[in-house]
Structure 1
Amino acid sequence: MAATSGVGVRLMQKVSSTLLFAKVAPHVIPAVDKAVHRLTRGKVILSAQMLPGVILTAKGARTGEPRTTPLACMPEDGGTSWLLIGSNFGRPGHPAWTGNLLRHPDADVSWKGRDIAVRARLLEGEERAEAWRAALAFWPPYAAYQARIEREIRLFRLERR
């Protein structure tokens, strides 16, 4: 099932697959999402108008301090679990939030205005392959991100605690 459909979505998918987007978006989208989320008291994530999104709060891998990150997600099972794709907009390094979850898998997400305690699990093997196929059907630009980097994009499943 695709995230959404229509000409606007196809255009956004094309734009989000470009190198320019990979350079600019990481500096703009999270800052705007955090501000809008704060102003709406957790009810709105602006980028979620294109793709579903959560605000992830996880302990920092090195500091143990809470780190808040707005992320696109793929809801599963009617919103009882979420797939997070560590694409980093197709940039070389793994996003910091993935290292945080590897070190501290217990986290919280803000989903549709509700705070939910979750446990993250890095997907591997056939489970990862199946989730990757679903992610590509959901948002095809992930294939372009993977094609331009050498690392394997990390996939996490978040399940309610």
Structure 2
Amino acid sequence: MPDRQAVTHVDPLAPHGPFHRAFLRFLGTRTARRLFTTKMMWRTDVRLMRLTGGRLGMGLLLPTGVLETRGARSGLTRRNVVIYFHDGEEVVIVASHAGAPAHPAWYHNARSHPDVLFNGCPFRAEAAAEDDLPRLWSLADQVFPVYATYREEASTAGRDIPVLRLLPS
């Protein structure tokens, strides 16, 4: 089993260069939303991350990793690429599902079977405490500003986007 070094530390407050900031602005456009939020793109992303050992994904400049869960009902292994950042030693992931009305399947899987692998390392998934959400959202928005749009869209559909902490196990 790989050590935690396989999960590159992501400081959400680290400054970004002009190319990175331009890329983040592009991700907020309708064109990028259409391109990056298709099921085909998400499936391709998992395969690409596995083929390149996690060095290259469709997120390009975004900090992404492979979350491996067990299906809530089937118990089968499921892999999804998610954006992440660190809060101290803990990895934080957001179940945005691009602002869709329903939570992503991986969120339900992680809640049913909280022992997960992230980039091959074992973690335990826990929902972030309600009183910690404003601070975590502030950090998440530094990593991926489009989360603000996703929160608005999910809220319109009556959904609050969950934030999960991955605790080293």
How does the TM-score come out when normalised to structure 1?
A: 0.83
- In structure 2, distance between residues paired with 1:89 and 1:34: 17
1:59 Cα deviation (Å)? 0.6
Percent of aligned pairs sharing the same letter: 26
Is 1:12 the counterpart of 2:12? The answer is: no
> Is residue 122 of structure 2 the alignment partner of residue 117 of structure 1?
yes
- Say which of 35, 40, 43 aligns to 1:31: 43
Contact residue 13 and residue 139 of structure 2 kept, 8 A: no
Matched residue, 1:155: 163
RMSD of aligned C-alpha atoms? 2.1
* In 1: Cα distance, 2:91 partner to 2:56 partner: 16
Offset at 1:30?
A: 2.5
Correspondence for 1:53: 64
Task: Tell me which residue corresponds to 2:115.
Answer: 106
Moved more, 116-125 or 136-145: 136-145
* TM-superposed deviation, 1:20: 4.1
Any stretches of 5+ residues in structure 2 without a counterpart?
1-11
Aligned length: 154
Deviation at 1:11, TM superposition (A): 2.5
Match of 1:90 in 2: 99
Give the stretch that moved more between structures: 151-160 or 17-26: 17-26
Provide Cα deviations, 1:87-115, integer angstroms capped at 9, x if missing partner.
Answer: 112222211111111111111111xxxx2
Partner Cα separation in structure 2 for residue 19 and residue 124 of structure 1: 32
Partners in 2 of 1:85 and 1:108 — Cα distance? 16
More strand by share: 1
The CA deviation at 1:39 is 2.0
Pairing partner for 1:126 from 117, 125, 131: 131
